[in-house]
Structure 1
């Protein structure tokens, strides 16, 4: 094909319908005439094909030529639009040109660029050579020759237009699909050309050649190259890579619409393959053959598609919540509806997969089936669900459908996150609806934010005097840099031989109990639940109080990191602020200050006439005592002169609560949060946002149930003793008669664990051991808390054993490693 000048003529659309004469018909004609849309039927003279061009009257001639260029491949600079013998200027709108619907237009296309004859000559030579190869001729060094010609002019802006007009991509694909040995030439040339496009330094130029990459994908797909075809896979991967390299593709112009349609075709195709492999993951016990490549491709292309749909909505917000329609855009007509169908099919399939997964795990638990539940496909389910979550935001009602499925499959979603998650970044989307996860899952996500101990040699050593427990611990922890605390803690109590994890557990429990001791005025205990605390607004009586709050944050984080239950919990007003929520409601303060809660509730429920009479004598100010002095604090500007009435009482209550539980303790909360953040590697806000208040209660306090002797006995093994020995029988009888507090003391002496995990003894990282010692009968029991070992000699009677156990279950003995 030689470059020539061609004339394209747009003929009137012939109307074979009878002429309408009724008033309604005239009205229809008027409506049609005033329509904002025009339609052209453009006949391409060189191949007798007809193009249908639709455009609004407000479009400029330039934008119309861009639309035509995307269809004809003729560069806009080589096109001229003629109407009634006059050339239309680029800046005019079609309305300003006086163009009516079905107008007779002429499109003049000049296809030869005078400025670059070498480009034309090079492309003509390439076409000629490819045609020879398609006929089966053998040409020595054909790949190198074509590569040289293709790459020499790749940085020339004219090259792309000529390259596409001469249909070189189509010729190369035809050669690849040929039966001759020359097919390998096309494979090599296409890959080399695409690689060069990927390596281009100019992003704008890469954006131009993005169309070539898409062209190769579509041509190979039309040639029925399947997903297992290496060249097709390469081209599609390259298309995705170019999309990423180019960055934010402009999907709003005509070429962008073609690109968007091309991206969707990839999504649709990958989704079909993904559905087949999800079936395979259910039917194959091990998920063998499940390809992670499908998942990665689905993630990449669906991301590009969502960005494109957001662009079409003329917004940069990727997450839309509306039904989208593009009936007036023929290039992407149906994309949105089809994507919705893809979403529903995949979500339904994931529902099936999760149910099969649950059945497999249940069968294994009950010893049914072959027990093979390690399925390679399961680890990819969570990634697919994340993509579906983002797609659900594009459609009205889709999010509700998505969360309904996950709520039904809550246990399996939680199981997958705990088992397969590598970092919290992949699971931030679940924060939108934490109800689809269970406690173990939420705890796992939060605990992943603590840094891993990669080098056990890194650590922090401490020598603490029990009599100066809080003061010396404060000095050590406050002065330590955060990096040193990322490692292990190595500490011992002065004049004691004990060391190791058991001593660290004991130290964490004892220090945290001291921190929250009301005598130190750092925290206030809730009147109706003395385990629950929030910062004390009057803590400033201690000049170092803010440093102590930073220290407290570090200590609580260290306790959580080491999975030590310290027996205290936070009140809701404290927890919400740590999670970044500073709006404290009346219901939030119910436990923190029952009196204030009751008073505020009475004010809100009081008869309007009574409160308007100023019988309460309230203004937007309060009187507080600070360091022995009383002072007035205004809740708002000029608050002392604003009387509380029935219209402003809600605002008064809100300001009162905010002042008491936010403003007055903001510094304390901030310093605690800073200390906590020193220990974790991620965001302190996200740590608490992953959790519910009850979750943190269980992580800090542990089980609230009384210690079960039967559970204790079931998780205890024996060394030196046998289960049926009289000493073991005596031991469990004595423990069974102990009070709840004595059992806690014994457990703490034995393991340095005073509060069991939520799962009881099953939640400990090891079973417990009772070991026979060779000491005389008059010796007290001893323990190795690091290994959960309790040692005692074979006492000669139950009375002697009860006496010895009675001594170590006294709190001042059982909570000390100084026992003999």
Structure 2
């Protein structure tokens, strides 16, 4: 495998098929001999230096040099020098013969003879210093085979300093590989490889400059074959060389990672070159692992930049595409490592390795998508494509990981069966499943394989979600397997999209509300607050009342929602067949603030969900579908408007001949509406009132009718509600709802649909000052059993500020309930501390007195108040 050039004026190197440095090349580097005067172009060991054109001039120059040497027979052979002079303009290198005792002016004259560049325009640089005309070459300790730079035309060179630094690095490497450090003068201060690398990165073009300038700058490093030189130094048999090579490669990698995100993509070609070379000579070495990890980190950063890009394909997209096939070996190596860790449960999968595997998979997936988009999902084998081998290898990795994850999920299922705690090392299983799910999308039948696996492992899959899905995780992919999850899982996934205000904010949003003007004052406090101010938490207090804390906040949520959704407010309409459900009212525009109130409602509902408060209202199916951006069908309006549903159903099912013979029942493409006693007619399409409905266009008529009545008429209201919801959620509203079914959202808003179970209530209640065997406790539960459902909910509301319990029952509350003994008069009313779920009872002497007092607190004006001054 031929590597890139060692430099424009240095050797080419080769590795043999076994990844070992070619000894012949090493010997050439050690000798570092080149007699330009006596070697024909076909025999030159460094063909990159010269074209056929300047080879001729070199032969001519050699004759001149030979005659020059014959004119000075007294010169010692040991003082003769062969110098390589690189012209920065054009990048050509010429060979000049001189003597150590020659002056720099003589050197200039010989350069002029070969290049026709006037001496007055020449400046020769050696090791960063400009040579002065009157000094002999020996003054500058110029050695045999030294590289000099002719920079007389520096202004035409884009990055002259970088070229100089790179040549200095190659000079140092050449000396170290020759092993002549002990026989040569010591290098001047600042001439170590690491110092030169630091200098190289210190002058790299900044963020304000064009990316092409940065790419050209870094291309100098690659085109001069510095990566290959440093790798050769690393595999050198000399320990000092090996240490130096390792240190230099690591310094380069770290310097790339330290660049701003916008520049890191320019480093990809160079780091890829290091990976190729190191994989060739030491694939199991730690340095190769470090290089691969650095490449993965760069890919992560570049992918994030691509994801944030709003302008379609950019240079970054093409750069990722170009490296797609080259990163497959890294992906395969990490797959082997990850599979071994997954099978070996004593180790568990490494978070770092899983993340790196993902960072390699994303750009590879992008490259495959781009090049084979018309064939996805892919049916293997492909007929003819250069990607067939690569796609086949990825398919093998997918199959192996799928089988391995089946073993892992069985391991969890077995542990749950023994009621053992889940191991923290299993936390990466979801990350691996996410990658497997992404891989499955490429192949015909792949997605079905993953669905089959997860459906057969629902219990361990749900256990992983509840245990390990945290805020900030990218878990949107799980919604594809919604049917394999429980309500608890889906609710958990949705709620994890809300920010954790307690961690990010220190100040709470304080509200002092008058019960007599509850909705208006709540609107003022919530609407005028910034979203950030609301996320920090809410501190709620009713005027002239002592109680504060979470219990009062829960009551406030419940009462505000009751006010918002009451039909008298004209904001929402009750569903025709289910009075618990509501949808936006098109007639709400009678209130000039109706749009602000819909945004306010979105904020309140989102805040209630974030605080895990059941507010006792449900959304109509049509409203829910609008929030999820789904199309509304005829069957969806069945429970919203039964009359329209039956009419449309009749129109669609009527015999076509009969329908047309009756002139479509006289229907045209219009919708008649009545708002606040005023009838209006709207066309469903252009010239709709002149277009008759018949058997051929009745499907279109029904579709337009539904869209006009249930979508466009309230679209602005739904948009405002979503805007308010988004203020609290901070991610697209559709991201929240994609995890849920309508029934799940019902459970989150209203709680369980079943009647309250007194036995479940009792099982989750503890006592302080009473014993479970006390007669007062026995009386209490007997009285509750005698009450109606609404009376029980009133007692529960007085006790906890929750009128509805979670879907899973009392165990879904944030705490157990408590009955405390009240050491006061035995005939006084009960009290409560709703924040702590405490009901305080006196030691009533009779069951009749206790029942009288308990039924008193079931009255609305009592259960919704916590005492006044």
TM interval, short-chain normalised: 0.7 to 0.9
- Quote the residue 2:649 is aligned against: 601
Give 1:686 deviation, angstroms: 1.8
2:728 counterpart residue number: 679
Q: 1:348-384 CA distances to partner (integer Å, 9 max, x unpaired)?
A: 21122122122212312xxxxxx353332x2212222
Partner of 1:518 in structure 2? 567
Q: In structure 2, what is the Cα distance between the partners aligned to 1:74 and 1:402? A: 55
Kindly indicate whether residue 350 of structure 2 is the aligned counterpart of residue 306 of structure 1: no
CA contact (8 A) 2:264 2:298 kept: no
CA-atom RMSD, angstroms? 4.0
1:555-566 aligned within 5 A: 555-566=604-615
**1:188 and 2:247 are equivalent in the alignment:** yes
Once residues 504 and 148 of structure 1 are traced to their aligned partners in structure 2, the CA distance between those partners, rounded to angstroms, is: 63
Please say if 1:262 is aligned against 2:239. no
Instruction: Give the whole-Å Cα distance in 2 for the aligned partners of 1:157 and 1:805.
Output: 83
- Structure 1 residue 78: Cα displacement: 6.8
Q: Secondary structure at the match of 1:492?
A: strand
Matches within 5 A, 1:319-330: 320-323=376-379
Q: Secondary structure at the match of 1:400?
A: helix
Give the Cα–Cα distance (whole angstroms) in 2 for the partners of residues 457 and 199 of structure 1: 33
Q: Is the 8 A contact 2:540 2:549 kept in 1?
A: yes
The question of 1:666 aligning with 2:715 is answered yes
Alignment of 1:596-635 (within 5 A): 596-613=644-661, 614=663, 616-635=665-684
Name the CA distance, whole Å, in 2 between partners of 1:194 and 1:502: 56
Indicate if the aligned counterparts of 2:659 and 2:665 stay in contact, CA closer than 8 A: yes
Once structures 1 and 2 are overlaid, which stretch shifts more, 790-799 or 598-607? 790-799
Structure 2 distance, partners of 1:199, 1:464, is 53
1:539-558 pair list within 5 angstroms: 539-558=588-607
2:864 counterpart (792, 815, 819): 815
Partner of residue 343 from structure 2, selected from 269, 279, 287? 279
Indicate the SS of the match to 2:580. strand
Matched, 1:129 2:160: no
In structure 2, relative to structure 1, the CA distance for the partners of 1:472 and 1:193 (3 Å cut) is closer
Cα separation, 2, equivalents of 1:389 and 1:344:
11
Q: Secondary structure at the match of 1:538?
A: helix
> Counterpart of 2:668 in 1: which secondary structure?
coil
Counterpart in 2 of 1:406? 454
**Which residue in 2 is equivalent to 1:343?**
398
Change in Cα spacing, 1:323 to 1:149, as seen in structure 2 (3 Å) is farther
> What residue number does 2:92 align with?
115
Q: 1:438 offset after TM fit, Å?
A: 2.6
Secondary structure in structure 2 of the residue aligned to 1:529: coil
Evaluate the alpha carbon distance shift between residue 728 and residue 222 of structure 1 in structure 2; reply closer, same or farther with a 3 A threshold. same
Asked whether 1:393 is paired with 2:454, we answer no
1:102 maps to: none
Higher gyration radius (CA): 2
Paired residues of 1:214 and 1:239 also in contact (CA < 8 A) = yes
Q: 1:183 to 1:77 in 2, by over 3 A?
A: closer
- Structure 2 vs 1, CA of residues 426 and 149 (structure 1 numbering), >3 Å: closer, same or farther? closer
TM-score (normalizing by structure 1): 0.77
CA contact (8 A) 1:813 1:819 kept: no
Give the one of 172, 175, 183 matched to 2:233.
172
Report which stretch shifted further, 492-501 or 131-140.
131-140
Stretches of structure 2 lacking an aligned partner (at least 5 in a row): 1-5, 12-23, 26-45, 54-85, 95-146, 148-162, 202-216, 307-313
The 3 A distance-change label for structure 1 pair 734 and 386 is same
> Does the C-alpha gap of structure 1 residues 156 and 762 become closer, same or farther in structure 2, counting only changes over 3 Å?
closer
**Which residue among 218, 230, 242 is the counterpart of 2:286?**
230
State the TM-score, normalized to the length of structure 2.
Answer: 0.73
Structure 1 segment 154-169 matched on structure 2, within 5 A: 155=217, 160-163=222-225, 168=229
Quick one: structure 1 residues 589 and 184, their matched pair in 2 at CA, closer, same or farther if it must change by over 3 Å?
Answer: same
Q: How does 1:718-737 map to 2 (within 5 A)?
A: 718-737=767-786
Instruction: Verify the 8 A CA contact 2:747 2:806 in the aligned structure 1.
Output: yes
Q: Quick one: distance in 2 between partners of 1:634 and 1:798?
A: 68
SS in 2 for 1:463: strand
Q: Displacement, 1:268?
A: 0.4
Q: Please give the secondary structure, in 2, of the residue aligned with 1:678.
A: helix
Rate the CA distance shift 1:210–1:469 in 2: closer, same or farther, 3 A: closer
Show CA shifts across 1:674-696 (max 9, x none): 22223222222322233221111
Cα shift at 1:818: 3.6
CA gap 1:671/1:645 in 2 versus in 1, 3 angstroms:
same
Query: 1:783 matched to which residue of 2?
Result: 832
1:479 aligns with 2:528: yes
Q: Give the match for residue 140 of structure 2.
A: none
Distance 1:464 1:361 in 2: 48
- Structure 1 522/268 Cα, relative in aligned 2: closer, same or farther at 3 Å? same
Contact 2:538–2:553 (Cα < 8 Å) also in 1: yes
Matched, 1:500 2:500: no
Instruction: Tell me, in whole angstroms, the C-alpha distance in 1 between the residues paired with 2:805 and 2:404.
Output: 40
CA distance in 2, matches of 1:526, 1:246: 50
Provide the C-alpha distance between the structure 2 equivalents of 1:633 and 1:800, rounded to a whole number of angstroms. Answer: 64
Residue aligning to 1:220:
278
Describe the shift of the 1:742–1:586 C-alpha distance in structure 2 as closer, same or farther (beyond 3 A). same
* 1:387 CA displacement: 2.0
Q: Displacement of 1:122 after TM fit?
A: 6.3
Distance 1:724 1:651, change over 3 A: same
Shift of 1:467: 2.9
CA apart distance, 1:730: 1.2
Decide which moves more: 796-805 or 233-242. Answer: 233-242
Change in CA separation of 1:475 and 1:185 when aligned onto 2, cut-off 3 Å: closer
Tell me: CA distance 1:695–1:140, structure 2 relative to 1, closer, same or farther (3 Å). farther
Distance 1:214 1:549, change over 3 A: closer
Deviation of 1:443 after TM superposition, in Å, equals 1.6
Q: In structure 1, how many angstroms separate the alpha carbons of the residues matched to 2:791 and 2:527?
A: 34
| Residue 647 (structure 1) aligns with | 696
Cross-structure match for 2:758: 709
| Contact 2:606/2:729 (<8 A) preserved | yes
Structure 1 residues 682-691 or 709-718, which shifts more? 682-691
Any conservation in 1 of the 2:231–2:245 contact (CA below 8 Å)?
no
Describe the superposition over 1:588-642 as per-residue Cα deviations: whole angstroms up to 9, x where unpaired.
1011011111111111000001111215111111222234322211111111111
Asked if the contact 1:252/1:311 (under 8 Å) is kept, the reply is: no
Alpha-carbon distance in 1 for matches of 2:550, 2:688: 55
Per the TM alignment, residue 202 of structure 1 is displaced from its structure 2 partner at its CA by 13
Is residue 534–residue 573 contact of structure 1 (8 Å, CA) maintained in 2? yes
Q: Distance in 2 between matches of 1:476 and 1:153?
A: 58
After the TM superposition, which residues 282-293 of structure 1 pair with which residues of structure 2 at under 5 Å, given as runs? 283-284=345-346, 288=347, 290-293=349-352
| Kept after mapping to 2: 8 A contact 1:525/1:534 | yes
Q: Distance in 1 between matches of 2:541 and 2:195?
A: 74
Matched, 1:575 2:624: yes
**CA apart distance, 1:421:** 2.8
Aligned to 2:503: 454
Contact 2:541–2:552, Cα closer than 8 Å, also in 1 = yes
1:388 is paired with a residue whose SS is helix
Is contact 2:615–2:749 with CA below 8 Å preserved after alignment? Answer: yes
Aligned to 2:482: 434
Partners of 1:710 and 1:804 lie apart in 2 by 22
- Which SS does the other structure have where 2:702 is aligned? helix
What is the aligned partner in structure 2 of residue 100 from structure 1? none
In 2, the alpha carbon distance for the partners of 1:749 and 1:114 equals 87
Structure 1 residues 338 and 781: CA distance shift in structure 2, 3 A: same
How far apart in 1 are the matches of 2:167 and 2:868?
97
The alpha-carbon deviation at position 138 of structure 1 amounts to 12
Cα distance in 1, alignment partners of residues 330 and 794 from structure 2: 64
Q: How far, CA to CA, are the matches of 1:463 and 1:123 in structure 2?
A: 72
Q: Which runs of 4+ in 1 moved over 6 A?
A: 1-6, 73-80, 111-114, 119-124, 134-143, 148-154, 199-206, 245-253, 255-258, 324-330
- 1:88 counterpart residue number: none
Contact 1:169–1:216 (Cα < 8 Å) also in 2: no
Instruction: Report the CA distance shift for 1:645/1:193 in structure 2 as closer, same or farther (over 3 A).
Output: same
